[in-house]
Amino acid sequence: MTEPLAPFPVPQDDPGGLTDLALMPPVGAPQLRADAARNRTRLLEVAARLAAERGIANVTMDDIACGAGVGKGTVFRRFGDRTGLLVALLSHHEEQLQAAFLSGPPPLGPGAPAAERLRAFGSAVIHHERLYRDFYLAAHAEPGRRRTNPAYQLRVAHVCMLLREARADGDIELVAHTLLGYLETVLIDHLLTRRGVTLERLQAGWCDLVDRYTGRCTG
């Protein structure tokens, strides 16, 4: 069971470019009309409330449509399928994580050495995805979507940037994907729930992996 979600804002223009990065539309995608944006927000609010009450695994598209007072076809047209809806729900929490590593205080945000930021990034992702475990596991039920959504692509770009700043060796893009593989939701959940690995051990393993690519750092 997850904690209740904060209210979803109606999508608006974002001059800063940092809001809703997890759901940035493809280049050339049409902007939603005001009424469509309100309907989308309403559907997300209903889905979030039902997920908090029942657990996301027990919420169907029919439940969401009924709760929002619309036909099921409206839900499918807005999100494509259940996985698309779950990804949209996660974007609200992704925004918080993204804000922390893009512009939050160090060592996760700017102002700390790159290797320290990488260490903090892995720890933050582990805790974040553990907090919203049910959402992430459900949204990643189709592995092919995991690496094509903008939230993952932003994480790759961020890790690549830090690796370059840390003057890491090797093919930076491939190293970034390798590091993010350690943070895969399904793997972390398996290690925590089935292998009995502690969060502290997972974090230590992440830091060791970062050190192997960037060299030992203090702090």
Checking if the pLDDT of 95 tops 60, the result is yes
* pLDDT surpasses 60 at 102: yes
Indicate the pLDDT class of residue 113, thresholds 50, 70 and 90. very high
Q: For residue 20, is it within any domain?
A: no
Distances (CA, A) of 130 to 25, 36, 94, 146: 27, 32, 13, 17
User: 5: which 2 tokens?
Assistant: 């979600």
Q: Specify the pLDDT at position 98.
A: 94
Name the band, by pLDDT with cuts 50, 70 and 90, for residue 181.
very high
Same domain, 158 and 92: yes
CATH number at residue 97: 1.10.357
Are 159 and 179 within 8 A, CB to CB?
Answer: yes
Bigger pLDDT: 57 or 100?
100
Are 109 and 203 contained in the same domain? yes
Q: How confident is the model at residue 207 (pLDDT cuts 50, 70, 90)?
A: very high
25 is a domain residue: no
Q: Provide the pLDDT for residue 90.
A: 79
Mean pLDDT of the chain: 80
Residue 212, domain extent: 81-219
Q: Which of 46, 80, 114 is the last residue of a domain?
A: 80
Q: List own/partner pairs for 27-32 with CB under 8 A and 24 or more apart.
A: none
DSSP letters along 96-115, please?
HHHHHHHHSSTTTSTTS-HH
Residue 110 binned pLDDT confidence (cut-offs 50, 70, 90): very high
Quick one: 38 and 110 in the same domain? Answer: no
| Type of residue at 5 | L
Query: Do 172 and 210 belong to one domain?
Result: yes
Helix (H, G, I), strand (E, B) or coil at 14: coil
pLDDT at res. 99 = 93
Q: Are residues 204 and 108 in the same domain?
A: yes
More confident call, 63 vs 91: 63
> Which of 80, 98, 113 delimits the end of a domain?
80
CA distance 18 to 20: 7
pLDDT (tens digit per residue) in 149-165:
788 899 999 999 999 99
Q: Amino acid identity, residue 130?
A: R
pLDDT at position 118 is: 97
User: For residue 24, what pLDDT is reported?
Assistant: 36
Output the CA torsion sign for 195, 199, 200, 204.
positive
